[in-house]
Amino acid sequence: MMKSIAAALALLVLNGCYFSRKKDDRPWPMDVVSKIEVGKTTKAEVLKLLGPPKQIIRLLESEAYMYIASVEKSSGLVLVVLNLSRSDRQYDAVTVIINRQDVVTAVGARFSGEDAAYGLPWD
């Protein structure tokens, strides 16, 4: 009897419970990015390794290729009148600076997309 009541209560509580995971673009393997060498790798090689960038930004003496892939994890609990929700968005991103001679002059990478976490609103 008690088990049935507990199961019914659990169903009632979890009825308004959700988890979602949203991915924007595909991430790039870390070893692929590590193949990019400052002063050596060319624009054509960057495009071959990483594909077309999400954004190309023209800078004063160079241009920046921005590669961004985001992961957003959301969770929530709706208990009749009480709604608890949380979202966490993290990014895998690579920025490559290419000079006028089409050679890479700087590169920065961060892989924190998988650090996005489910949790309570105050986490």
Distance CA 30, CA 110 (A): 9
- Compare residues 48 and 56 and give the one whose CB is closer to another protein: 56
Cβ burial 5-16 (10 Å sphere, 16+ → b, else e) = eeeeeeeeeeee
Shortest distance (Å) from residue 36 CB to another protein: 11
Shortest distance (Å) from residue 116 CB to another protein: 8
For the record, the structure tokens of 21 come out as 């995971």
Shortest distance (Å) from residue 73 CB to another protein: 10
| Positions that interact with another protein (CB under 8 A) | 38, 55-62, 64, 66, 68, 80-91, 93-95, 97, 105-110, 112, 115, 119-123
- Compare residues 48 and 106 and give the one whose CB is closer to another protein: 106
Distance CA 10, CA 15 (A): 8
